[in-house]
Amino acid sequence: MHHLVEVFLQLGLVILGLGVLGAVAGRFGISAIPLYLLGGLAFGVGGIHDLGEITEFLDIGAEIGIVLLLFTIGLEYTPRELVGTMRTSWRGAIVDLLLNATPGALCALLLGWGPLAAVVFGGVTYISSSGIIAKVMTDLGWLGNREAPTVLSLLVAEDLVMAIYLPIVTTILAGLAFAQAAWGLALALLAVGAAFLVASRGGSVLSRFLASPSDEILMLKVLGVILVVAGLAEQVHVSAAVGAFFVGIALSGEVSHQAERILNPLKNLFAAIFFVNFGLQTDPQSLPPVLAAAAGLAVLTVGTKFATGWWAARQAGSAFTGRLRAGLLLLPRGEFSIVIAGLGVSAGLDPQLGSMAAAYVLILAALGPLAPRLADPISTRHRKKLRARRLRSTTDVEHVV
């Protein structure tokens, strides 16, 4: 009985606290994500109060939050749109890998952590947070923008790179045979191909199976399919979020609109839990010694990620504002970066790698939701400068005539 009392009290206070933080953020017109992160940091390891009674629930809820975020993003696109965007964005994916994995690898080498740590830390700085970016795009209403497919194609490409990267890194860290890594890699690629095939060819069948006049039945069916596919994706070393993304792509017609409406409250709840849980897993006392180095690395990779988004959006034909938004959207790092760092620390690499990754991710996870809001003021000033330039040009021409 006492255990149940503690669970209800802790969970209730966490959810109530999230509601209050969300209201504060809304009052000042800012994203609630940084406040959720700071709230988690305050009550995490070595924080104000231990939330050990609900740790397991928060861990599972955080994973569900990422899955639902990517599912709702997938609802916005069809397989044809995704293929078309990937064909035009593959160069951007290569640029993304080269520009953003290199700073992390060089940082690890400069700090004397060794070449294996360089491979691990390169992954930390490479991959953006799909969860944070999906939330920001939804909150700002940017899913219908021209640059949105470019951003999403880069995120999908990053997750596919992770499907290749994780089996290899896990095998190297464990000292296992390369054949095991090759088998895991082949299985991951096969799973991704099968998921895309089902999404493109079997979407109508899945939509008919899930269709129901009852909101309750539809919610249970859709949520069940999402979680099953996410679990199967994890089993073959593909991100659960990628599996959920393909489920969203597969749905079409009225079912997709109904599913989005019904699952939206659940998505909002579990997404908030994801962000607060991220902060809970960070020990504040481990941050000060590495904060300066993490901040310097964050500044460097803000530049490289922004350049990636800008270049990819330009290749896709986006105008100035679209390029600006794409660059700013890609800045946050999150869940995958922490997972990768955790693998390295568990394998006996330098413990500072974990602290450095936590500080680095926390900086960019807090900056990520705020930076895209700069896009509209900057683009407004840019348009004013263009108008003034055109006016001066017209005036000069008239003067010459």
Cα–Cα distance for residue pair 358/370, rounded to 1 Å: 19
Does residue 385 lie within any of the structural domains? no
Q: Which amino acid belongs to residue 251?
A: L
Does residue 106 lie within any of the structural domains? yes
Does residue 96 lie within any of the structural domains? yes
Domain hosting residue 80, numbered range: 64-375
Give me the pLDDT at residue 296, please.
Answer: 95
**Structural domain count of the chain:** 1
CA dihedral 152, 156, 157, 158 (to 10 degrees): 100
Give me the pLDDT at residue 251, please.
Answer: 84
Give me the pLDDT at residue 92, please.
Answer: 84
Give me the pLDDT at residue 327, please.
Answer: 93
Cα–Cα distance for residue pair 105/114, rounded to 1 Å: 10
Q: Which residues of the chain have pLDDT under 70?
A: 1-2, 29, 44-49, 81-86, 88-89, 163, 167, 174-185, 187-189, 191-192, 195, 199, 237-239, 335, 379-401
- Helix extents (H) in 29-114: 33-42, 55-74, 79-110
CA dihedral 59, 63, 66, 67 (to 10 degrees): -160
On whether the CB atoms of residues 237 and 164 are closer than 8 A, the answer is no
3-state secondary structure of 347: coil
Contacts of 97 (CB under 8 A, 6+ apart): 126, 161
Give me the pLDDT at residue 192, please.
Answer: 67
Give me the pLDDT at residue 401, please.
Answer: 53
Q: Which amino acid belongs to residue 320?
A: F
Give me the pLDDT at residue 306, please.
Answer: 96
Give me the pLDDT at residue 177, please.
Answer: 58
3-state secondary structure of 236: coil
Does the predicted TM-score (pTM) go above 0.95? no
On whether the CB atoms of residues 104 and 124 are closer than 8 A, the answer is yes
Cα–Cα distance for residue pair 34/135, rounded to 1 Å: 12
Which CATH number goes with the domain that contains 163? 1.20.1530.20
Q: Which amino acid belongs to residue 377?
A: P
Does residue 264 lie within any of the structural domains? yes
